[in-house]
Amino acid sequence: MGNVSIRFDRFPGGLSKAVVFSFDDGRDQDRRLVQAFNRYGLKGTFHLNSGTFGQEGYIRAEEVADLYRGHEISAHTVTHPFLEQSPDDQIAEELIADRRNLEAIAGYPVRGMSYPFGTYNDRVVRALPALGIEYARTVQSHGGFHMPDDPLRWHPTCHHKDMLEKIEQLLASNSWFSRMELLFIWGHSYEFDHDDNWELVDRAGELLGGEESIWKASMTDIVSYQNALRALRFSVDRSMVHNPNALEVWVSADGEAVRIAAGETKRLR
C-alpha cells in the first residue's frame, strides 16, 4: 500500500487558519485595546518594557497581571535600546532583567520578545536562545499568511492599519490544497489614538470574533504548536505515530484530518 503521506497542515481542532495580534510598549491605550479584545474573544501578545512601568503614558506594574490575563505577556527589553548597537553583556542584561521582572508579575515563563524599534542583526539573533528567547518579532511585514521559518526572525503579515484588508483575504481564502494559514498583525495601541481609528479594532472584532474556523492564538501558542508537530515520532512507513507532547496535535494523513491526543500512539492506517 505504500507509505502514509503526512502533512503538517492543521491547527488545533483541525482548523487551517489562525490569527495572532502582537502589540508593543505597554502604553496606556493597551487598556482600551485589551478591553476590546476581551469583548470580541480575541487574543493578543503584548511586548512590555518593564523599565517604563508607571511612567507617564505607560501602564503601571501593579495592573499588568489583571490587565493582560487571558493574553500573553512577552519581553521588549527593560529600556527599549537599539540592541544591534549594544554590547553583548548589555543585550543579556536587558532581556534577562525584562524576563525576570515580567515573570514575577505574570506568574509564568516569558518565552519571547519583539525587537525594540524592530531592529536587530545576526549577533543579536545568535544571543537569544541562551537568554531563554524562543521567538522574536520584527516589523518587516511580508503580506502573506505563511508560518514562520525562523521564529527568531518572525516577520508579521501586516501592521494593524492594514489588518481589515488582510482579515477579509484570510476569510475568503479557499486554497485547493490544505495548509496552515497564519494572519500575524502587529502595531502599537497608542497609534489608534494618534490616527483616530479605533473603529479598526471594532471592525476586526466583528469579522473575527465569532468566526469558529479561525484559531485565535498568541505567539507562544504558535511556537508551542509548531514544536509539538516537529516532536511527533512516526514509524518507517508513517502508518503509526507517537505524540510525546502535552499538547494534542492535528495532521493530515493521506488527505484526512487526524487528531493525535497528548501522549497517544495512534495507527494512521
Q: What is the pLDDT of residue 55?
A: 98
- Please give the DSSP secondary-structure letter assigned to residue 85: G
Side chain identity at residue 102, one-letter code:
L
pLDDT at 47 over 70: yes
∠208-214-216 over CA atoms, to 5°?
75
Percent share of the chain, pLDDT over 90: 96
pLDDT at 251: 97
Query: For the chain, how are helix, strand and coil distributed in percent, rounded to 5?
Result: 40, 20, 40
**Measured distance CA(138)–CA(157) in Å, rounded:** 11
C-alpha grid cell, residue 212: 469558529
Cα pseudo-dihedral 48, 161, 145, 174, rounded to 10: 140
Cβ(29)–Cβ(59) under 8 Å?
no
Asked if residue 257 has pLDDT above 80, the reply is yes
Residue-range domains of the chain with CATH: 16-217 (3.20.20.370)
pLDDT at 177: 67
pLDDT for 174: 83
Predicted confidence band at 25 (pLDDT cuts at 50, 70, 90)?
very high
pTM: 0.96
Mean pLDDT of 236-264: 97
Average pLDDT, the chain: 97
Cell of 14: 483541525
Asked if 56 contacts 146 with a C-beta cutoff of 8 angstroms, the reply is: no
What is each CA distance from 28 to 38, 59, 193, in whole angstroms? 17, 5, 10
Q: Is 177 exposed, middle or buried (0-12, 13-18, 19+ CB in 10 A)?
A: exposed
Whether residue 175 has pLDDT greater than 90: no
In this prediction, residues 107-116 reach a mean pLDDT of 98
Q: Which helix (H) or strand (E) holds 214?
A: strand 214-217
125-144 pLDDT, tens digit per residue, is 999 999 999 999 999 999 99
pLDDT in tens, 191-239: 999 999 999 999 999 999 999 999 999 999 999 999 999 999 999 999 9
List the single range of 176-190, 227-241, 245-259 with lowest mean pLDDT. 176-190
Q: CA–CA separation, 84 vs 99, rounded Å?
A: 19
pLDDT in tens, 66-104: 999 999 999 999 999 999 999 999 999 999 999 999 999
Whether residue 1 has pLDDT greater than 70 = no
